[in-house]
Structure 1
Amino acid sequence: MVDLFSNLALGLSVAITPENLLYALLGCLLGTLIGVLPGIGPVPTIAMLLPLTYVLPPVAGLIMLAGIYYGAQYGGSTTAILVALPGETSAVVTVLDGHQMAKRGRAGAALALAALGSFFAGCVATLLLAGFAPPLAEIAFKFGPAEYFSLMVLGLIGAVVLASGSLLKAVCMIVLGLLLGMIGTDVNSGVARFDFGIPELQDGIDFAVVAMGVFGLAEIMNNLAQREQRVDITDKLGSLYPNRQEIKEATPAIIRGTALGSALGILPGGGAVLSAFASYTLEKKLSNEPQRFGKGHPAGLAGPESANNAAAQTSFIPLLTLGIPGNAVMALMVGAMTIHNIQPGPQVMSSHPELFWGLIVSMWVGNLMLVILNLPLVGLWVKLLKVPYRILFPAILLFCAIGVYSLNYNVFDIYMMGIFGVIGYIWSKLKCEGAPLLLGLVLGPMMEENFRRALLFSRGDYTTFISRPLSMVLLLMALLLVLMVVSPTIRKKREETFVEED
């Protein structure tokens, strides 16, 4: 306990420096902005800003990117409540009851419940991150190559099971990501693989190029292909103070949503979207008046809003302790750390304690900033919806091209981004998610390295993966997940969880 307080004191000294406070504020502002604007989520934004982290100190860069991620959860709820346009995917559930409250003249109260629920969840989840990360990191130091390989297998299977949409498509995208990760020079033999004689591919495909194409450009194409939506923005927020009955109904939902989101955020592929849907389903099941859901029930708003923010924070736990990204945003955070030659995993806590604890404490600071920023600036955020897409998206496209070029100062990267943008657009039309591909691309080289190292240490004995107890347990858990998802009952429940309620 003494160590925890001393570590948090170190983190506080890092987080409250003027430079890091500025980048935390910038991340929160950008996160809220992209949460408000439909069609621009945290994944494409963080992908676009990855090159910027080259010129930032590691701590400041990660603090800003983290602020964008959990800030987007706040911003998405604003337009979901006021104009029924979820700016962020996890805010889709917020529309159901949040917008109904707004139509009854309780928009201000709905925004306050969403902000306070998110603040509470964020604070609790960050406390869990601070408390559970050190012991998990200690366990991670006992991992060898076989254990890491088995853990990554579990992570990828978990990402498939918990991903929305078709299981088969998710598996195909992960396999494709693993194959893309094999392009380039083999570290062990020095032989160029799958480069088709193109010199630029001998170092592999840059992670940021794929992310910007599949998420950034594909999102722009998707939004331009749709008819531009224009809505009447209401200025009638009503009171920002929820009444006693609303607080009474929302409080248990906030606590349950925080607990559920904190747990699901740790799981591979869990994240904010699954947590929001699962929380809404849970609240409706537990309610004595399920018919009120979808008609402005405070619990239907507060639960998912708390769950998605809690999951956004706890998804950092597997990244910082095991070096395993659980979702697409965490995969991008791996890219940001790699840019600064920081290997994600348990050694971060010992070799870069100022980064580890500074990032954790900055989440508390960021959550406080978001509450202070969001409620007074609601009018400003919603007015941003009036910016025409024809102005907004060309600017984003230009920013993407400049960012990709700045990676290696190579025009070839811009061409690659364009190719992946077109491919990503086609995938979106085929209902294939890009997130599993990104996880496969990040984990692929790490899986291959640990697989080969495990065989090297065991002199080619494949039974090393099941003869080592921890590795065997992880593989058995992966097998159990596969068997569970094959079960018709589990599959039906999984589909129900992701169904958007009418």
Structure 2
Amino acid sequence: MAIIQGFLYVLQPLHFMFLFLGVAGGIIVGAIPGLTASVGIILLLPLVYQLDASTAIVMLCGMFCGAMYGGSISAILLSIPGTPSAAATVLDGYPLSQKGEAGKAIGVATIASATGGIISTFCLIFIAPQLARFALKFGPEEYFALMIFGLTIIASVSGKSLVKGLIAGFFGLLVATVGLDPVTGYARFSFNIPNLMAGFPLLPVLIGLFAISQIFIQLEAVGEKIRHYKQKINKVLPSFKELKRLLPTIIASSFLGTFIGIIPGTGGTIASFLAYNEAKRWSKDPDSFGKGNILGVAAPEAANNSTTGGAMVPLLSLGIPGDVVTAVMLGALLLIGIKPGPFLFREHPEIVNSIFAGMLLANVLILLLGILSVRLFPQVLRTPDAILFPVILTLCFLGAFSLNNSVYDMSVALIFGVIGYIMRKNSFPIAPVVLGVILGPIAEDELGRALIIAHGDWTVLFQSPIAIFFYAISLLSLLYSLKMQFSTCCCSPKKGSWNY
């Protein structure tokens, strides 16, 4: 099988070392409140930019999987989810910690996370090539319609305010238009500034919006809170009897999380709460949930980690991100010269196989590192914010500079960091901006190709059944987001007012 070649590649000492560093770094990033998988991937970009494509993607996959698991550590020990997808883990993880069972809670979270990740990766291995084979039939008009569908994810990741999400998305599309038109070559919004002729560099934009803006927010709170976990962590692994009781829930939650992950615009947070709710609904003792039921740790952790493989299905086979983290991953892949989509499977099968093998081995490493390092986690969480975040901020600027050894790139990172900070302070979501910046140019390029082939006849965009299908589900996606927004508004304390 071709995947064997992927394993042989990843298991080479140098490549395995980068995978190990990615997983270990991801666990640390995920465990520290305020940092997320997106930030971790962005911090890695300056390093992986210097590596070959297969090694770079293996390290990024390690960071992705590790960070998704790492969020459970602070959720259990401190009642602070390290990543948004670990929010459901707090409900029973922290009560278990208060009972002196933090070790067992982390052990179960580790086993559930690794199992969920492995199951979802196997689903990725079987589903993605079939979907990519179908997508090989796409022409420019189908790809344009697909990117339009991808842009409707903006509505899904807009949070409580659809209006603010759409404003942020349009801002991202506007940023993407700066520079030369891909079809005509005319300069747009460059104001005769040479650096702007090529548009805003993607890496500094991502560093500013995701990393620097988040660090500015965290620096505001330095000194307000001190993280300590003083209890001794003893037993880590659950008994065989407990594991046997947990296994059906872990497997069911893993498949649920994989399915949720495949649906663009969902992600680990939705999957974890759905899995938690299902585990509670099917439990013989639902009243114990929220008071320290170990099933309340196993279900959400299996679900949120299984979204890693699920979210990679549309990313690899169609080139559409499944969630916010894979949107950043899409930007990372484009930066290192990899364009996700069906042609990736045909033209670069070695990269695809490296991703499959890397994600499987990353989840095995999560199991080993999680069990062996559990007593070190409290030490990581004791790192003072006053030291941690200034160091990360410095790394962000060094990363932006290292791309082209350019002070201009550092300036772009700072400007978008300030923009991102202002957006966060005013409750504007960041993810729609990133989706606009990344997907906008791809959609524009495919639109230009379609119109050139059709000699300017725009009706070609509506002649393909596949394109019409994507337009239809784009409309359904928007209508569903509007329905959810309306439901939220109706349930809000201020009746009749939109929750902007």
Q: Do Structure 1 and Structure 2 share a fold, with TM-score over 0.5?
A: yes
Provide the residue aligned with 2:440 in structure 1.
Answer: 444
Tell me the amino acid that sits aligned with residue 29 of structure 2. Answer: I
Matched, 1:351 2:347: yes
Provide the residue aligned with 1:89 in structure 2.
Answer: 84
Tell me the amino acid that sits aligned with residue 233 of structure 1. Answer: Y
1:163–1:270: 8 Å Cα contact kept in structure 2? no
Matched, 1:180 2:161: no
Provide the residue aligned with 1:116 in structure 2.
Answer: 111
Unaligned runs of 5+ in 2: 493-500
Which of 222, 234, 237 is the matching residue for 1:238? 234
Matched, 1:40 2:35: yes
* Alpha-carbon distance, 1:246 to partner: 4.4
Output the aligned Cα RMSD. 2.1
Provide the residue aligned with 2:455 in structure 1.
Answer: 459
Provide the residue aligned with 1:481 in structure 2.
Answer: 477
1:122-137 paired onto structure 2 within 5 Å: 122-137=117-132
* Alpha-carbon distance, 1:51 to partner: 1.7
1:487 counterpart SS class: helix
1:269–1:326: 8 Å Cα contact kept in structure 2? yes
Tell me the amino acid that sits aligned with residue 357 of structure 1. Answer: N
Provide the residue aligned with 2:337 in structure 1.
Answer: 341
1:234 counterpart SS class: coil
> Structure 1 residues 245, 13: CA separation in 2 closer, same or farther (over 3 Å shift)?
closer
Provide the residue aligned with 2:496 in structure 1.
Answer: none
> Structure 1 residues 271, 493: CA separation in 2 closer, same or farther (over 3 Å shift)?
farther
1:58-457 paired onto structure 2 within 5 Å: 58-161=53-156, 163-226=158-221, 227-243=223-239, 246-247=242-243, 250-457=246-453
Tell me the amino acid that sits aligned with residue 473 of structure 1. Answer: F
1:228–1:389: 8 Å Cα contact kept in structure 2? no
Identity percentage of aligned residues:
37
1:41–1:88: 8 Å Cα contact kept in structure 2? yes
Q: Deviations along 1:407-441, whole A, 9 cap, x unmatched?
A: 12221111121111111111111122211111110
1:484–1:490: 8 Å Cα contact kept in structure 2? no
* Alpha-carbon distance, 1:33 to partner: 0.8
Q: Deviations along 1:335-390, whole A, 9 cap, x unmatched?
A: 33333333221121222111110111111111111111112212222212222112
User: How many Å separate the matches in 2 of 1:191 and 1:494?
Assistant: 47
Tell me the amino acid that sits aligned with residue 331 of structure 1. Answer: A
1:485–1:491: 8 Å Cα contact kept in structure 2? no
Unaligned runs of 5+ in 1: 1-5, 497-502
* Alpha-carbon distance, 1:249 to partner: 5.1
* Alpha-carbon distance, 1:187 to partner: 2.0
Tell me the amino acid that sits aligned with residue 105 of structure 2. Answer: A
Q: Deviations along 1:159-197, whole A, 9 cap, x unmatched?
A: 422553222222221111111111101122111101122
Q: Deviations along 1:11-56, whole A, 9 cap, x unmatched?
A: 1111211111101100011001111111111212211221212211
User: How many Å separate the matches in 2 of 1:190 and 1:466?
Assistant: 26
2:158–2:164: 8 Å Cα contact kept in structure 1? no
User: How many Å separate the matches in 2 of 1:244 and 1:69?
Assistant: 30
User: How many Å separate the matches in 2 of 1:209 and 1:113?
Assistant: 38
Q: Deviations along 1:77-125, whole A, 9 cap, x unmatched?
A: 1121122222222112111101111212222221121111111111111
1:463 counterpart SS class: helix
Aligned residues: 491
Moved more, 280-289 or 186-195: 280-289
Tell me the amino acid that sits aligned with residue 406 of structure 1. Answer: S
User: How many Å separate the matches in 2 of 1:232 and 1:22?
Assistant: 31
Provide the residue aligned with 1:23 in structure 2.
Answer: 18
2:92–2:289: 8 Å Cα contact kept in structure 1? yes
